[in-house]
Amino acid sequence: MALHIMVLGAAAGGGFPQWNANNEASRRARAGDPAAPPRSQSSLAVSADGRTWILFNASPDLRQQINDNPQLHPKEGVRHSPIVGVVLTNGDVDHVAGLLNLRESQPLAVYATSRVLSVLDRNSIFNVLNPAFVDRRAMALDEAFEPATKDGRPAGLLVEPFAVPGKVALYLEDPDAGADFGTVEEDTIGLRVAERDGKAYCYYIPGCAALTQELGQRLEGAPLVMFDGTLWRDDEMVVQQAGVKTGRRMGHMSMTGPEGSIAAFAGLGVQRRIFIHINNTNPVLLADSPERAEAEAAGWEIAYDGMEIVV
């Protein structure tokens, strides 16, 4: 028994290269530079048996991600998918837009907090997921559950959602709601993902604004944490003239700096640390950058599309 994890997409919203990004890194990626491999948008597939898969987030690149990973191809009959469910960690475009690729009356179960489900409910385009075939199931914070197929067969995983510091999705920001733009606790969650019938587990936290003491205690000694790798430094988009927002403004802690993730994880004894959800401005995307060397020297791995992990 083991937990099989496939990184379908390792980049943040926009992917790498992002459609309108013309920085050197993006140009290298488009030119096929082997040190700048493209990365699609943020998503994992996880399985306990290697046959039945649960998606963790559904990115706009999902159609291609399925085509690129034979484990996710149909295996039998005229219509079939090894994907039986989707678990969402927030309502961001990079994490929910891929649901639209999962139409065509295929039985599925979509899990999210009540808050994120209410966002899907308010956007009628998601009704292309025919409710006769696709269940929407609410996850309660701090309550572990077993993701199951539409007809109730457990997929062999145990998933526990918990709130992490973050920000409401960009398109839901309320400018009149103060400094947090109307963010509520259920907007951004982390997940503990475990085998139901085994000991293997990991944490998946693709968006996180701060590593609180409580979160640090939770992650202490974990065998694997896949963590928000959006930015190298808080002001990198401003410095690169790629945008006006800091990481802090976007609800993402950065890798570096005194409150950055590399420093925050230093004493936690997490055995394997992998950055995921990496923005197109982050120099760690380049295999030959000094920043990549620095992150690796600090014990971190940089996720890439097609990365397979067995816990």
CB 190 within 8 A of CB 216: no
How far is residue 104's CA from residue 264's CA, in Å, rounded to a whole number? 44
CB 129 within 8 A of CB 137: no
Task: Lay out the site mask for ligand MLT across 4-23 (x = CB under 6 A, - = otherwise).
Answer: --------xx----------
Judged by CB under 6 A, the stretch of 89-97, 187-195, 212-220, 258-266 that binds ligand MLT is 89-97
Q: Which is nearer to ligand MLT, 92 or 305 (CB)?
A: 92
Residue with smallest beta-carbon separation from ligand MLT: 13
Distances (CA, A) of 270 to 11, 226, 232, 267, 293: 22, 11, 20, 8, 19
CB of 2 to ligand MLT, least distance (A): 30
CB of 86 to Mn ion, least distance (A): 16
Instruction: Look at residue 200 and give the partner it binds from Mn ion, ligand MLT, none, a contact being a CB closer than 5 to 8 Å depending on partner kind.
Output: none
Query: Cβ contacts of residue 189 below 8 Å, gap of 6+?
Result: 89, 90, 113, 139, 141, 161, 162, 163, 164
CB of 204 to Mn ion, least distance (A): 13
Query: Cβ contacts of residue 259 below 8 Å, gap of 6+?
Result: 210, 211, 253
Judged by CB under 6 A, the stretch of 48-56, 86-94, 100-108, 186-194 that binds ligand MLT is 86-94
Q: Which of residues 153-192 bind ligand MLT (CB under 6 A)?
A: 170
How far is residue 210's CA from residue 80's CA, in Å, rounded to a whole number? 40
Judged by CB under 6 A, the stretch of 24-32, 57-65, 88-96, 280-288 that binds ligand MLT is 88-96
Is there binding between residue 250 and ligand MLT (CB under 6 A)?
yes
Instruction: Write out the DSSP string of 87-117.
Output: E-S---HHHHGGGGGG-SS--EEEEEEHHHH
Residue 159, strand partner residues: 145, 193
Q: Which of residues 187-246 bind ligand MLT (CB under 6 A)?
A: 207
Residue 163: exposed, middle, or buried by beta-carbon count in 10 A (0-12, 13-18, 19+)? Answer: middle
CB of 215 to ligand MLT, least distance (A): 18
CB of 111 to ligand MLT, least distance (A): 19
Q: Which is nearer to ligand MLT, 102 or 250 (CB)?
A: 250
Q: Which is nearer to Mn ion, 170 or 238 (CB)?
A: 170
Q: Which is nearer to ligand MLT, 1 or 177 (CB)?
A: 177
Instruction: Look at residue 170 and give the partner it binds from ligand MLT, Mn ion, none, a contact being a CB closer than 5 to 8 Å depending on partner kind.
Output: ligand MLT
Instruction: Look at residue 163 and give the partner it binds from Mn ion, ligand MLT, none, a contact being a CB closer than 5 to 8 Å depending on partner kind.
Output: none
Tokens 């006006």 sit on residue: 244
CB 81 within 8 A of CB 133: no
Supply 82's token pair. Answer: 């090894």
Of the candidates 80, 71, 68, 64, the one whose C-alpha atom is nearest the C-alpha of residue 49 is 71
Q: Using CB under 6 A, list all residues that contact ligand MLT.
A: 12-13, 92-94, 170, 207, 250
